[in-house]
Structure 1
Amino acid sequence: MSRNPFDTTRSTTGVETVVLPSPRQAGQRIDDSLTQEQVRRTYGRYAPIYDQLFGAVYAHGRRRMAAALRSVAPRRVLEVGVGTGLTLDCYPSTSEVVGIDLSDAMLARARRRANALNLANVALHVMDGEAMPFDDASFDCVTIPYVLSATPEPARLVRELRRICRPGGHIVILNHFSGSRFWWLLERAAQPLSSKVGFRSDFHFDEHVARHDWKILSVESVNPFGLSRLVVIENV
């Protein structure tokens, strides 16, 4: 029988927080340019206006991500970086959906959205995606929208995604990657500020996706001017 992974405390906002041991081990490299606390503070500030800033501009990518997920009809889904829950009502009602996020403030809004939409198949938890307490092969599909370039150690997150996704299951990455001619100057301009606003502007597909020994099924440009890519992967 699988263990119950959730030892929780409750914040003043009523959001359950998963209590984990320190995710860092001695000798591990830590990317000082982007830390968990920086991400948590940044998205805490974004929470009240996140939907207005990023809801419409990223909507096409979220719709395409949800369509990719529906095509594989997963029984159990994990969304890493669920934010304010903008994708929650796009998932199949027949799927059990777990959403996690580092930010209490973002997740409080996701919880209100799930309650307003009466999404009985959704469970939400504050959690570090780089050190998840789930058993191996716990999910049929893992989605990761706009998070891979906003986590302190992307390689560590990828290892966790592969561990908790069952072999033959699917990992769906939605993210900005460097290389678009249109966005080249914008990336260079944003680079000095990127760690202060909780993401990396200079983030390469070959380094963070293509080099891994998983099976890439499709890559699709999404969002205005090809700002993002949707990558569907079979976990092997």
Structure 2
Amino acid sequence: MNPISVDNVVTTYRFYAPLYDRLFGAAFEPGRRALTQAVRNLRPSSLLEVGVGTGLTLSQYPSTSRIVGIDISTHMLDIARERASKLTNHDIKLAAMNAESMDFPDGSFDCVAMPYVLSVTPNPEKLVAEIRRVCRKGGTILILNHFSGSRFWWFLEQAVRSLADKIGFRSDFCFDEQILKYDWEIESVKKVNVFGLSKLVVIRNT
């Protein structure tokens, strides 16, 4: 797995911030809809979104939940704050934070949602340890991410590998290594986005 640095992530999303919605909004929207529907079904009193980006999911979360969104990119957060300011019926707080080292106390949230973040973080294991720490025991963790292994996508992964390395995205990201190795309880796995490019994984934080 190729290394990704924090500086690499920040630089990448500084460039992509004004373009992100047009480049990745519609393409990844089915996955976001599946994630936010899962949150609405849960109706958690508190929700943390890790990697809130430009805030594309914020309007779809329950208005009854206390919502906190964090992102390492201040440029992405500027757009998210503009979106959040229009959602007057939601309780939303946004903050710049490195998700591999969060400021929240243990067990701060009933639910942690992580859309399209796990394969772009410098240290996935450290991130997983942090989301498990800040999610209360028995709470729910939702991971939405691309995972390699599909025969169809293998050819695409090879084609974009060099570009993916430059922008800080792991195209070869194994589900077994990144999800199944942990001692948490996987409640469901759902394929989302075109040709099942991504998976939505619902996890009980045991």
Q: What's the TM-score, normalizing by structure 2?
A: 0.97
Q: Matches of residues 203-218 of structure 1 in structure 2 within 5 Å?
A: 203-218=173-188
CA distance in 2, matches of 1:166, 1:208: 21
What is the aligned partner in structure 1 of residue 43 from structure 2?
Answer: 73
**Matching residue within 2, 6, 29 for 1:59:** 29
Q: Matches of residues 117-132 of structure 1 in structure 2 within 5 Å?
A: 117-132=87-102
Secondary structure of the residue that 1:62 maps to in structure 2?
helix
CA distance in 1, matches of 2:136, 2:3: 32
What is the aligned partner in structure 2 of residue 116 from structure 1?
Answer: 86
Secondary structure of the residue that 1:190 maps to in structure 2?
helix
CA distance in 1, matches of 2:165, 2:100: 18
What is the CA deviation profile of residues 115-148 of structure 1, one whole-angstrom value per residue up to 9, with x for unaligned ones? 1232540000000000001000000000000000
Percent identity, aligned pairs only, is 57
Q: 1:90 and 2:64 equivalent?
A: no
In the alignment, is the contact (CA less than 8 A) between 1:173 and 1:232 conserved in 2? yes
In the alignment, is the contact (CA less than 8 A) between 1:89 and 1:119 conserved in 2? no
Secondary structure of the residue that 1:40 maps to in structure 2?
helix
CA distance in 1, matches of 2:17, 2:90: 23
CA distance in 1, matches of 2:134, 2:165: 28
**Matching residue within 222, 225, 236 for 2:195:** 225
In the alignment, is the contact (CA less than 8 A) between 1:43 and 1:198 conserved in 2? no
Instruction: Tell me which structure has the larger Cα radius of gyration.
Output: 1
Q: 1:235 and 2:205 equivalent?
A: yes
In the alignment, is the contact (CA less than 8 A) between 1:104 and 1:126 conserved in 2? yes
CA distance in 1, matches of 2:58, 2:43: 15
CA distance in 2, matches of 1:64, 1:190: 26
Deviation at 1:32, TM superposition (A): 6.8
Secondary structure of the residue that 1:183 maps to in structure 2?
helix
CA distance in 1, matches of 2:87, 2:169: 30
Deviation at 1:67, TM superposition (A): 0.8
In the alignment, is the contact (CA less than 8 A) between 1:170 and 1:232 conserved in 2? yes
How large is the RMSD of aligned CA atoms in angstroms? 1.1
**Matching residue within 201, 216, 221 for 2:171:** 201
Mind listing any 5+ residue stretches in structure 1 that lack a counterpart?
1-30
Q: Which structure is higher in helix share?
A: 2
In the alignment, is the contact (CA less than 8 A) between 1:65 and 1:172 conserved in 2? yes
CA distance in 2, matches of 1:54, 1:191: 18
Mind listing any 5+ residue stretches in structure 2 that lack a counterpart?
none
